[in-house]
Structure 1
Amino acid sequence: MTKIVFFDIDDTLLDAQKELPASAKAAVRQLQKQGIYTAIATGRAPFFISPVLAELNIHSYICFNGQYVVFENEAIYKNPINRYALQQIDETARERDYPLVYMNEITMKANVPHNELIEKSLRSLKLSHPEFDPHFYKNKEIYQALIFANENAGRDLPEVDDVTYIRWHESSLDIVPKGGSKAEGIKQMIGRLGFQMEDVVAFGDGMNDIEMLQEAGTGVAMGNAHQVVKDHADFVTTNVENDGIVNGLKEIGLLSREFDTVKQ
């Protein structure tokens, strides 16, 4: 193996309807046939990427924007959020009426019984409102939290030294440990394979993909990516719905120009 390719999931592998295009599936299968290692790098939690992993026959993945890394079905790196930081966030968010969702590798819980912003944001991922458990973060390792605030109302987020906020939806932001990123998760995984960052290819579209695209040997932004994300990529491919994965892999030479997804 000479390369490892990391794929973001939402709006990179999956289209706007959260479906995996046949061309993307065929492209990943072809990479695997060629001996190129394939992996996932996502902001999602492990408990809701299993259908994608199974469909693509992928067993290594980075979740929670780099805080939980699995190599060949074995967790090799965990970076939970500091519990004192979580307490500070919870107290301040309650004062400012910003609801929260806490996630570990198994499940997620909300600190409010119901909230429309939670409903709206998670619906975009085809997820339902989590169960209410205001004490969940107190006795579980939390790898990522979500805070729900519209873009014009999110300027007074809790100021906590140990975390970083990354917006992933108009109504929500990820909360991850400061210094944590998909790029850091990639470094944890490639050590197992004896690869260097120059051997890494990364595909992404969101703000949480910027560091990954910057540090990878080759960073490919989807055509549907934010412009600021494209600005940090080495290549820009077409939209996910327009064979973006296939076209990007052809552009960087990992698939031949003659590769035909219809024949796969």
Structure 2
Amino acid sequence: MKKKFFFFDIDNTLAVWPDGIIPASAQETLDTLKANGHRVALATGRLQKDAKRFADLANVTDFVADGGKSVTINNEIIFMEGMDREACVRYITHLEERGLHWAVTDVNELVRVTPYETVLQWHPDWDVFKTVYDPTFDYRQVEHFYKIYAFMTPEQEERKQVVHMTTDLIRYGENCILFEPMVKAEGVRRMIAHYGMKPEDVVVFGDGYNDLSMFSPEWLNIAMGNGREELKAAADYITSDCKRDGIYEACKNFGWI
């Protein structure tokens, strides 16, 4: 059997969100793929530090994180960069001019920082990041923007005529809009180049909007049954739901396990 390189999104692909529980059949499939000589990696929008926490649980040492903007191989970061700095500064200035509050993650830690004390009140139960209030925080001095959180109601968004930094945004909990990189295929290409493998050797699994950035005609694209309709339309194969043995079903169907 020709050896493949598998890349699995985490939330609602490999693990059931928000609890992050990997179905037993999915974990057994990952272990069997590796035992059969295939390579296995994660590919997630999570911050590298957050992805590392999950990779340890899944017994995986290679992963693309930060939506494609970081690559970790054998648990060592070989590449990591933030979003376009100038675009981030312009966007936060845009929010400031409209009196809207924000927070940023500017280090590889499970932390977001904000100069607005009111942001401390926003903390969904499923969110693992700690919010730090720093009234002296100056976004113009930030070197790396890994995530930006913009806080506004839909009414404020319309009335204040907010022009977002990009259309690639995530409605993240109540009255919060999250921006993070969505270029997963870039990270996949960096990793396969490191290992000297070819695009045709790649298989990717995903479910969400940001996984569209990982689907490519260069390799095999598999959507979960619980995935977004846009992703299913772009998929080469649609498997069962994440919590209904979807990872196992696809890998069994193609004879990889």
Match of 2:75 in 1: 73
- Which residue type is aligned with residue 197 of structure 2? F
Match of 1:25 in 2: 27
CA displacement 1:50-71 (0-9 Å, x = unmatched) = 3321222211111110111112
Task: Indicate whether 1:138 and 2:141 are aligned.
Answer: yes
Match of 1:5 in 2: 6
Task: Indicate whether 1:175 and 2:171 are aligned.
Answer: no
CA displacement 1:183-228 (0-9 Å, x = unmatched) = 0111111101111221111111110001212345111111111111
Gaps of at least 5 residues in structure 1 are 256-264
SS in 2 for 1:213: coil
Gaps of at least 5 residues in structure 2 are none
Match of 1:63 in 2: 65
TM-score, normalised relative to structure 2: 0.84
SS in 2 for 1:75: strand
CA displacement 1:143-169 (0-9 Å, x = unmatched) = 333334567765654454xx6633264
Structure 1 position 118, deviation (Å): 4.4
SS in 2 for 1:165: coil
Match of 2:168 in 1: 165
Q: What is the identity percentage for the equivalent residue pairs of Structure 1 and Structure 2? A: 27
Report how many aligned residue pairs link the two structures: 248
Contact 1:118 1:129 in 2 (8 A): no
Pair 24,129 (structure 1): closer, same or farther in 2 beyond 3 Å: same
Pair 79,110 (structure 1): closer, same or farther in 2 beyond 3 Å: same
Distance in 2 separating the partners of 1:80 and 1:93 = 20
The farther-off stretch of 43-52 and 57-66 is: 43-52
Pair 67,227 (structure 1): closer, same or farther in 2 beyond 3 Å: same
TM-score, normalised relative to structure 1: 0.82
Task: Please give the root-mean-square deviation of Cα atoms over the aligned residues, in Å.
Answer: 2.6
Contact 1:199 1:217 in 2 (8 A): yes
The farther-off stretch of 61-70 and 85-94 is: 85-94
